[in-house]
């Protein structure tokens, strides 16, 4: 084997080893920030409060599955405390989704027993939301119900929080290919307003404008 070839192979080996070490470190960092299911605590049982008594309340729009058939998801105007920590704002949003809507025309987006294990937001705008296994195990399944659950979470976080562009849903500290057989969860998801009353209202307003003299 010639000297240049040997040097090239050695450099390739070093680069491959460095890549493996880097990917291992990233994976371990993500895992270390997510609590395993057997240590999960019921939300909102965090060590620190999610807001200060002096924090002002701000209006938000939460997304819930609709009881009628014109749109899949409807929004509900409510409020949260404007905590200085965006992650605490995100936890407040999830807490309200878990509590469910106070409107008979809306369904609870999360199945019974669902709890939030952990939630954090990365610098590149991805919110990692780790739920207990009840989110998947107790879900009735079906394409539309799964889509409504996933995007109730994704839309509620991405629509209301400036620092969140995408949401990665985890279950019991691990990735799932789907929630219950249909909706893919392998990649972080962006908000989809096309299945909500926001898009429905925008289309209706546009149609009204076009008919105006």
pLDDT band for position 68 (cuts 50, 70, 90):
confident
The CA–CA distances, whole Å, from 49 to 33, 39, 43, 115 equal 19, 19, 11, 17
Residue range 127-171, pLDDT digits in tens: 999 999 999 999 998 999 999 999 999 999 999 999 999 999 999
- Residue 13 neighbours by CB under 8 Å, 6+ apart: none
Please choose, from the candidates 170, 154, 134, the residue with its C-alpha nearest in 3D space to the C-alpha of residue 73: 154
What is the rounded distance in angstroms from the CA atom of residue 197 to the CA atom of residue 143? 19
**44-66 burial: b if 16+ Cβ within 10 Å, else e:** eeeeeebbeeebeeeebbbbbbb
pLDDT in tens, 19-40: 433 334 433 444 454 444 433 4
Model pTM score: 0.74
């Amino acid at each position: 084997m010639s000297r240049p070839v040997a040097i090239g192979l050695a450099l390739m080996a070093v680069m491959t080893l460095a890549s493996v070490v880097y990917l291992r470190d990233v994976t371990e960092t993500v895992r270390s920030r997510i609590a395993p299911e057997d240590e999960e605590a019921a939300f909102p049982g965090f060590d620190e409060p999610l807001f200060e008594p002096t924090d002002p309340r701000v209006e938000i729009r939460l997304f819930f599955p609709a009881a009628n058939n014109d749109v899949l998801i409807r929004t509900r105007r409510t409020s949260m405390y404007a905590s200085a920590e965006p992650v605490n704002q995100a936890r407040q949003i999830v807490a309200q989704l878990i509590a469910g809507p106070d409107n008979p025309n809306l369904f609870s987006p999360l199945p019974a027993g669902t709890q939030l294990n952990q939630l954090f937001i990365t610098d590149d705008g991805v919110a990692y939301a780790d739920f207990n296994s009840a989110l998947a195990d107790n879900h009735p399944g079906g394409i539309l119900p799964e889509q409504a659950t996933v995007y109730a979470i994704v839309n509620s976080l991405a629509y209301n929080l400036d620092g969140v562009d995408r949401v990665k849903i985890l279950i019991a500290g691990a990735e799932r290919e789907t929630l219950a057989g249909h909706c893919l969860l392998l990649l972080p998801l962006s908000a989809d307003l096309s299945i909500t009353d926001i898009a429905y209202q925008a289309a209706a307003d546009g149609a009204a404008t076009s008919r105006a003299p």
